[in-house]
Amino acid sequence: MTNINHELEQTDSTVRMIAVGDIHGCAHALERLLAAIELTPQDTIVFLGDYMDRGPNSKRVLEIVIELSEQFQVIPLLGNHEIMMLDAVKESVTRDLWLQFGGQQTIESYGGDFANIPAEHLDFMRQCLPFYESEDHLFVHANYLPGSPLTDQEDQIRYWTHLSDFQPGPHKSGKRVIVGHTPQTHGSILDFGHLVCIDTYCFGGGNLTALDIFTNKIWQVKENE
């Protein structure tokens, strides 16, 4: 289900809130996506997490997002891959697991050495938010329980639970929920009305997706084009 046709939340077309799905190291796609969006100082951009792993240049992705946050209103959410990387940096016993789940590509983008990861990149990940709530939307990396505020939900739900394992109903707040994490291998947005997933499998040949939540305009680019 990919058609998006919800009512607009506001009439001021100069103000945009744009959600960006899982990037997974696809720096080339991110650069092209941002060029297509043409951000202005009035815009807010919400990244849904999973900046790294699996794709070819996680280091550059973090550089881009950090640079962007110095110029625009950026709301970066935490994804499960950031959690894995931070654990791997802190606890060597977890490194092999992280490397198997896409971390190998990430560490290669830093020259193959954990010591090459800038403190600025680690600080950025530590400061990412667990979720974000606007007037009419909730943004969270993976999933949610419909009967509880996002503040009360367990990490297993917010960061790790795929929609294929648990498909929630409308949230008790009545707000539309925007998530990533569950890769849509066909490259198209998954839209249930109350819930929209914009992880469109960029690292695997799909698209990197951005969604203007007010107008429902969609931008999509591929990494290898």
Please state, in angstroms and rounded to a whole number, the distance separating the CA atoms of residues 87 and 4.
Answer: 37
Q: Which two tokens stand for residue 49?
A: 């997490």
SS3 195: strand
- Prediction pTM value: 0.93
Closest by alpha carbon to 189, among 163, 214, 170? 163
| pLDDT per residue as tens digits for the range 164-188 | 999 999 999 999 999 999 999 999 9
∠ CA 54-26-216, nearest 5°, is: 120
| pLDDT per residue as tens digits for the range 193-205 | 999 999 999 999 9
Please state, in angstroms and rounded to a whole number, the distance separating the CA atoms of residues 180 and 224.
Answer: 21
Contact 18, 42 (CB under 8 A): no
| pLDDT per residue as tens digits for the range 113-142 | 999 999 999 999 999 999 999 999 999 999
Q: Which two tokens stand for residue 137?
A: 């939307």
Start-to-end C-alpha separation, the chain: 25
User: Starting from the edge strand earliest in sequence, which strands make up the sheet with 44-47, in order?
Assistant: 73-76, 44-47, 17-20, 208-212, 218-221
Q: Which two tokens stand for residue 143?
A: 């999933």
